[in-house]
Structure 1
Amino acid sequence: MTGNSPMENHLYELEYPAPGNGVSADGDLVMIIALQGYADAGQGVHQAGQHLLQALEHRPVATFDVDSLIDYRSRRPGITIDRSRLVDSEQLSLSLHRIEDSAGTPFLLLEGPEPDLRWNAFSRAVAELATRLGVDRVIALYSAPMTVPHTRPLVISAHSSDPALVADLQRWESRMIIPGAAALNIELSLSRAGTDTVGLTAHVPHYIAASDYPEATYGLLHTVEQVGDLQLPLRALQTDMEKVRTQLAEQVESSGEIATVVAALERQYDNEMARLRQQRENTLLAPGQEVPSGEELGAEFERFLAGMTGDGEDGEATDGPADGPADDC
């Protein structure tokens, strides 16, 4: 049973009885956004959402009104015809679920097709739910086709409202303008309201972007574990990854043209990784040296000033005029 009070947003219905705030013991609640349709190369985002729903205990928290958000002409639901008779229609669903990870820690998952319409209203509705349910961190998933080879480790690039949250991940180095998305709108809206937001983008080889690529799903969810402090069941994905790797290896071996393209991408990938490593190592600190504390910097500065003025151990100047103070001007 669902219902809306007069004060509730009409874009969604809360499940009844209404859930509590759902926070974990330490007061942290993570929301994962996995919207299908934008930047979903290799079906990495869609499969991530589906994997969480299939592998973990969950229940719906809120259901959005897809009639208000979806343009059916651009995203036509499938209709099943069986022996000249219409028997079924695909039902599009955009919902917020409460899930418990492998350790029993609750988190939220916003899963379903990306809205075609009313992005601003949709973002406000998600932000309202996040505030209502006690969300303090949002992690949005993306998957983009890139000129990278499947024979090298998958890259996950990160952006965040707080750089400290993604300090150990690869980040975008330059300022750029990218096509908008509903999930990006939600991130921007929540970060402006003071909620921590993180965006994770899997780099999928462009030549297999149209096929299922479980490597992207695994990479996204494994990174979610780190950023969201969650424990997720990923072993089944590893089995799927091995199957796809074997298939790709067979295709490369059977085609000289494909092998040439992959080899070129490997060289490009290796050169870029070497550049990034050199950039990280090219600092004023020696390898393994830590940044000095404020007290250490202050003491070193005092020693520097003492050397400039020639102070001896007895506190008197060893250089400079031997007589009294300089003449007044």
Structure 2
Amino acid sequence: MTDPSVLYNITGELGNIPEGLDLVVGLTGFTDAGGAVGQIGDYILDNLSNRVIAEFDADELLDYRARRPIIYFDQDHLSDYQPPALRLYLVQDELNQPFLFLNGFEPDFRWEGFAASVVELIGRLSVKTTTSVHAIPMPVPHTRPIRVTVSGNRLELIDALSVWKPHTQVPANAMHLVEFRLQELGHPVAGFALLVPHYLADTEFPLAALASLESISAATGLIFPTDKLREEGRVFLTKIEEQVGTNGDLEKLVGTLEERHDAYMQGASMKSPLTDEDGELPSADEIAEELEKFLAIKRHGDNDQGSPLGL
């Protein structure tokens, strides 16, 4: 078997890193509803003290043609190439508690090698727990708190926080494989899947980022500065309510989602907060159709601030 360490390079001194730190993982790629993972990556690295200690080899792991890097065209020449990165950081939270943060692109290639590399780093650094977050679009209302589905072997988190426990096949992401391998080894691991309103999936939804950080805090005890995100979330919701409140069809749609959500959370006999009385999932098109129509009309009168839905 190929040496797992060939997929990454150590860029910092490992000898002074304390043992028993928590590892937090946020990878962008297959799905990132509400921009949750992208936002927390920027938020953590912009607001907390950090340094890179390892970097994965993008040429081995990334399909550049599927996710093309950005380069700046400056009138008559190319400049400021932004290569994709997948890095392991040593970070300090708001109370100066250290933790490890694996952030960047989700690998396209060599998943088994990537999983083996992460498992090796976890053992090499004597990681205490591993917590990952990602976000998926679901037919849930924006007027209710963002809920989560929790996987892994930390039963206390699953019992306390996981509101939807389906028996189903799902498209895997790279961290699912890492989580599966860690479960086999008995390493404490939790994966949070945030259930983000489908009609907000293609924009940066601040409350999705906030829910991600709160999930990480619940799993690790880490403390994050969230005042800015909370204020951005309040402003965002105000704009959404202004738009929804002027269209009766949209109000009806959101009201239906609220009823299904609340019935499920109150322990009604429904199988899922995402289904109707017949157990059918409303399609993505049904959820977003009225919103798209309304915003297409309203776009003509938008001010310079644009739509908070990013449409």
Name the TM-score, length of structure 2 as normaliser: 0.82
* 2:89 is aligned with 1:97: yes
Measure how far apart 1:175 and its partner are.
Answer: 2.0
Q: 1:78 to 1:275 in 2, by over 3 A?
A: same
The DSSP-based 3-state class of the residue aligned with 1:254 is coil
Go from structure 1 to structure 2 and tell me whether the alpha carbon gap of 1:138 and 1:83 turns closer, same or farther (over 3 Å shift).
Answer: same
Q: What does residue 208 of structure 1 align with?
A: 200
Cα offset, 1:8, TM superposition: 7.1
User: Offset at 1:20?
Assistant: 3.2
- Structure 2 unaligned regions, length at least 5: 272-311
Output the CA distance in 1 between the equivalents of 2:232 and 2:205. 9
* Contact 2:263-2:270 within 8 A present in 1 as well: no
**TM-aligned CA distance change 1:149 to 1:163, over 3 Å:** same
Identical amino acids, percent of aligned pairs: 32
Q: Shift of the alpha carbon at 1:63? A: 0.5
Which residue of 2 is the match for residue 221 of structure 1? 213
Matched, 1:195 2:187: yes
Q: Say which SS state the counterpart of residue 139 (structure 1) adopts.
A: strand
Aligned residues: 270
Task: Answer yes or no: is 1:41 the counterpart of 2:33.
Answer: yes
Q: Distance in 1 between matches of 2:240 and 2:122?
A: 41
- Equivalent position amino acid for 1:125 in 2: S
Tell me the residue number matched to 1:116.
108
Equivalent in the alignment of 1:149: 141
Give a deviation string over 1:195-241, Cα, whole Å, max 9, x none: 11101111110011000011111011112111111111111110110
CA drift at 1:117: 0.4
1:76 and 2:72 correspond: no
Work out the CA distance in 2 between the residues paired with 1:223 and 1:74: 30
SS in structure 1 at match of 2:239: helix
Q: CA deviation at 1:278?
A: 11
Letter in 2 for 1:75: R
DSSP-derived class of the 2:9 partner: strand
Bigger radius of gyration: 1
Q: Contact (CA 8 Å) 2:150, 2:157: kept in 1 or not?
A: no
Mapped contact 2:149–2:165 kept (Cα < 8 A): no
Aligned partner of 1:13 in structure 2 is 9
**Is the 8 Å Cα contact of residues 12 and 52 (structure 2) preserved in structure 1?**
no
List gaps (5 residues or longer) in structure 1: 1-6, 280-329
Deviations 1:243-268 (A, max 9, x none): 11111011102222322211111111
Return closer, same or farther for 1:256/1:172 CA change in 2, 3 Å cut-off. closer
Q: Distance in 2 between matches of 1:139 and 1:249?
A: 33
Q: 2:263 maps to what in 1?
A: 271
- Give the drift of 1:21: 4.0
The alignment's TM-score, normalised by the length of structure 1, stands at 0.78
SS at 1:138 equivalent: strand
Q: In structure 1, how many angstroms separate the alpha carbons of the residues matched to 2:164 and 2:133?
A: 15
In structure 1, the partner of 2:45 is 53
The answer to whether the aligner puts 1:22 opposite 2:14 as a matched pair is: no
Q: What is the deviation of 1:74?
A: 0.3
The root-mean-square deviation of aligned C-alpha atoms, in Å, is 2.0
* Separation in 2, partners of 1:207, 1:8: 40
Q: What is the letter of the counterpart of residue 222 of structure 1?
A: E
